[in-house]
Amino acid sequence: MEYMKEQETFYPIGTLDQFLPQIGRTVKWREWEIAVFRTSDGGVYALENRSPHPKGGPLAEGIVSGHYLYDPLHDWKIDLTTGLVQLPDQGQVLTFPAKVEGGQVYFAAPAVQTAQS
């Protein structure tokens, strides 16, 4: 399911110089913990900071190589652009649109749903 661009709301999460190339940084936004990565070519990617491995774990401490993230606990290779775990492993991480404008890093937050009963 694709995001509908006209419904995206981008939120500032820091300046570009606060996100070092190839090093993850954790950003908290409401109930979400987001792992943000800046690649060596200047791209910025935002993923939920939770490994899709059955045992879980954080992703922000992973190693970035090109447009791939290596899960720090399980060494799964994850595509930063899609969140898909590469074969022979399988799974997917929730990704969020991210962009840089005027030296500021933004990400599109997930829709906030509250449980009411």
Dihedral sign from CA coordinates of 65, 39, 52, 74: positive
| 51-93: pLDDT as tens digits | 999 898 899 999 999 999 999 888 899 999 999 999 999 999 9
Chain centroid to Cα 77, Å, comes to 14
pTM of the model: 0.83
Condensed to tens digits (0 to 9), the pLDDT of residues 16-62 reads 999 988 889 999 988 889 999 999 888 999 999 999 998 988 999 99
How many angstroms separate the CA atoms of 50 and 117, rounded?
Answer: 28
Q: Which domains does the chain have, with CATH numbers?
A: 26-108 (2.102.10.10)
pLDDT at 46: 95
Task: Please state the φ and ψ torsions of residue 113, each to the nearest 5 degrees.
Answer: -120, 135
Query: Could you give the 3-state DSSP secondary structure of residue 70?
Result: strand
- β-bridge mates for residue 25, sequence order: 36
Cα–Cα distance between 102 and 45 in angstroms, integer?
A: 17
